[in-house]
Structure 1
């Protein structure tokens, strides 16, 4: 890889740290990256495969509280806003996929974090509950 990965610029964090040490919230970055790709690589088609935010899996929370994921809603709103801006500026974005629809096993973290729009109750026969972000996304897509 010919890149330096960092979450700081001039010693200052570029965004809010998440419950995953390597993942920061920086919505403006998606626009900056897409515009850079547009100019540097002659605007190839771009498919964003995994864009989302993780929260720690706090198994002591009741489900009704665990499904309240305001951080994810703010994350998605910010990123989709900047994504739209980049498209309006001519970025050739062909697809966007949220990370992820369900809480799942993450290869480096197991079940200690949750990425999904749908809460999986690992203690109750894998029962599924839509998180607030799932309802937010539904309303976003309908408008």
Structure 2
């Protein structure tokens, strides 16, 4: 694993923790929303693992923010959790972002790419309805497996 990849995972984890705390949620609550174990979500915040794009989209929706903001691409320059060092020249930061996004896209499955395309083409109301149906489906599935 490259140093840049490790840095990106740690920064993402710190941003996830920041958004969660700012919104007053516990790790358990977020894990329930995502339909995952709390320990899995803890790994996200510590940078040990990275959420799948689908879960990142749900978190952005939950926190009422964009994916770019969640990932730190539009963070205030004074934000220490912004993606990249704000003192770097703009071109270097842009190249770093492009490289990172290229790696992320390469790791996406065909289904994840289709989901992302659907999400981007959907109207805001369709996005909310889509996430609500997914949440309801996860809750039903969770109830079936725990009964």
TM-score (norm 1): 0.29
Greater share of strand residues, 1 or 2? 1
Greater share of helix residues, 1 or 2? 2
State the structure with bigger RCO (CA 8 A, min sep 6), 1 or 2: 1
TM-score (norm 2): 0.28
